[in-house]
């Protein structure tokens, strides 16, 4: 383990050119010898990378400055990339991200943050019972997915305990794809449908405590050793067993999942209504006549969506579901 042996301070001190002996140069080093890696997890300023199939510990190099490095990032690395015990490589570049899943501001954390990058699917893991589904949280996760340009997928766990139909009726008009899983009881363990949906993509798994996300991750990636909590019989909440987002490769090498056990809230203050409606091109088309600044919400006086409903051109359920998402954006951020 390297943690503790090298503090940020020590390394910065070591890296900084000593003025008298080495004149400062304006040219940045070119890092021609840098190699590609992907960020697996982050722990107190130390990054675990996957590089040619081996795990390598790394830290940010000074030229990156305050630029964040997050789980899912493709990075360029120099230095000791052997992955040997005690070795520490340096991240010199973050490859431009294809997507960023963000959250804003909650009471514990006042800044907007990128949670993970380069994921193309957001899997909202919800138990059908124990704990009961929380549609408002599902809505908020969907908003985050649409805003990030990620495809949403509902993964309904614990199908041995309840029927999915009630919950699904809420999401049908939005056209969100879904899969059902069951890892206990008779006929448990068939993950074919979910694996089909994960294949060839990077999928972020979110879900509140106790929904069975760790159990699912362990079943998808044998050997992942994500800790499984015990659901409290009184509150329905699980123990908070793990904290950091973690990138895992699916066994067939054809897809990645990112487990996000640490996400306890999903602040959405950064989401613009205009971004959300872009995820629904059929509805977006109907808002061309909207007054400037229209949010397309329920109380907007001359929203094109209302006109489209009156003209019989819009599906009422779909508009209502979209507006529910829009409202969820402003709700409290508790996960
Ligand atoms: N009945 C039933 N129970 C399940 C199923 N999947 C998981 N569980 C149980 O649900 C409980 C919570 O599972 P976890 O995998 O720890 O849930 P989690 O979402 O990772 O929760 P945290 O670790 O607290 O974030 C455990 O007791 C599991 O055994 C299922 O398909 N059916």
Please give the pLDDT value at position 197. 97
Nearest CA to ligand 1 atom 10: 212
Nearest CA to ligand 1 atom 30: 158
Average pLDDT by stretches of 10, the chain with 335 residues:
45 49 59 93 92 95 87 96 95 96 68 88 96 91 93 97 94 94 88 96 93 93 72 43 79 90 75 88 95 93 95 95 91 59
Please give the pLDDT value at position 235. 45
CATH 3.40.190.10, applies to 8-94:
no
- Ligand 1 centroid from CA 130, angstroms: 9
Q: Which atom from ligand 1 is nearest to the alpha carbon of 161?
A: 1
Domain ranges of the chain: 8-94, 100-259, 273-328
- Ligand 1 centroid from CA 207, angstroms: 11
Q: CATH number for the 100-259 domain, one of 3.40.50.300, 3.40.190.10, 3.40.50.800, 3.30.70.100? A: 3.40.50.300
- Is 215 marked as binding a ligand? yes
Q: Which atom from ligand 1 is nearest to the alpha carbon of 183?
A: 31
- d(Cα 183, Cα 130) in Å, to the nearest integer? 14
ipTM strictly over 0.90? yes
- Print burial letters for 177-197: b (CB count within 10 Å at least 16), e (below 16): ebbbbbbeeeeeeeeeebbeb
């Amino acid at each position: 383990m390297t943690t503790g042996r090298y503090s940020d301070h020590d390394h910065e001190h070591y890296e900084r050119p000593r003025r008298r002996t080495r004149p400062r140069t304006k040219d940045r080093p070119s890092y021609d010898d840098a190699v590609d890696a992907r960020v697996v997890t982050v722990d107190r300023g130390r990054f675990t990378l996957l590089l040619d199939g081996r795990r390598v510990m790394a830290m940010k190099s000074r030229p990156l400055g305050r630029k964040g490095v997050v789980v899912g990032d493709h990075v360029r690395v120099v230095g000791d990339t052997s992955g040997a015990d005690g070795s520490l490589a340096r991240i010199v570049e973050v490859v431009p991200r294809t997507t960023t899943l963000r959250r804003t501001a909650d009471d514990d954390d006042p800044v907007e943050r990128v949670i993970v990058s380069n994921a193309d699917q957001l899997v909202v893991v919800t138990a059908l019972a124990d704990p009961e589904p929380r549609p408002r949280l599902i809505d908020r996760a969907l908003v985050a997915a649409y805003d990030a340009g990620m495809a949403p997928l509902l993964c309904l766990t614990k199908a041995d305990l309840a029927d999915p139909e009630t919950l699904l009726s809420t999401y049908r008009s939005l056209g969100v794809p879904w899969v059902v899983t069951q890892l206990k009881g008779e006929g448990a363990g068939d993950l074919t449908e979910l694996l089909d949906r994960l294949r060839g993509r990077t999928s972020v798994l979110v879900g509140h405590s106790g929904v069975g996300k760790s159990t699912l991750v362990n079943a998808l990636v044998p050997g992942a050793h994500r800790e499984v909590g015990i659901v409290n019989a009184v509150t329905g909440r699980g123990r908070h067993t793990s904290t950091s987002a973690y990138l895992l490769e699916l066994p067939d090498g054809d897809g990645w999942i990112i487990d996000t056990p640490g996400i306890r809230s999903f602040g959405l203050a950064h989401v613009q209504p205009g971004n959300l409606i872009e995820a629904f091109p059929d509805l977006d088309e109907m808002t061309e006549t909207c007054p400037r600044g229209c949010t397309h919400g329920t109380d907007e006086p001359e929203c094109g969506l209302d006109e489209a409903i009156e003209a019989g051109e819009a599906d009422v359920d779909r508009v209502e579901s979209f507006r529910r998402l829009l409202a969820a954006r402003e709700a409290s951020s508790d996960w």
